[in-house]
Amino acid sequence: VLPTVAIVGRPNVGKSTLFNRIIKERLAIVEDRPGVTRDRNYAPAEWLGHKFHIIDTGGITWEDGKIEEEIRAQAEIAIEEADVIVFLTNVVTGVTDLDEKIAQLLYKADKPVLLAVNKADNPEQRSNIYDFYSLGMGEPIPVSSSHGTGIGDLLDTIVDNF
């Protein structure tokens, strides 16, 4: 049985873009509007010879769900199914109330939770991630899912936690 990695985060942080980047195929649908995508949400992936499955929990849709209910369901799926949870936030919006709610849900996970800060597209944004320590999830890992920066470091940390 392969390890499973789940990506959790509020809408529009870039979960599907990161998922696509990790599986290196554009299988998920990237949408600006939250709650309307029917993404492919489960795929095999590999890094440095470590095979695993990755889940984009935001791609599992509840058409009429309120955002907070969806996020609670995402977190529950991740806590149940995943061996490693990637909690994705982004540097453009900074830490939001929803990020804090997700952190609260993930504190009870008996699994490693890696905090990744997406949309860190340039050196200034990559160095502007200290606010994310306030989420209590340890060291934030800056990534740019659209440019590909930092993805190798994130994957190294993921496979270290298998």
Structure tokens at 84: 């490693």
Annotated binding site for GTP: 9-16, 56-60, 118-121
In sequence order, which residues have a C-beta less than 8 Å from that of residue 13 and are 6 or more positions away?
88, 89, 90, 93, 118, 119
CA-to-CA distance for 8 and 160, rounded, in angstroms? 19
Closer Cβ to ligand GDP, 58 or 140, answer by number: 58
Where along the sequence are the contacts to ligand GDP (CB under 6 A)?
A: 9, 11-17, 30-32, 34, 58, 118-119, 121, 144-146
Q: Least distance in Å: CB of 72 to Mg ion?
A: 17
17 binds Mg ion (CB under 5 A): no
Residue 64's binding partner out of Mg ion, ligand GDP, none, with CB under 5 to 8 Å set by partner kind: none
Residues contributing to the site for Mg ion (CB under 5 A): 15-16, 58
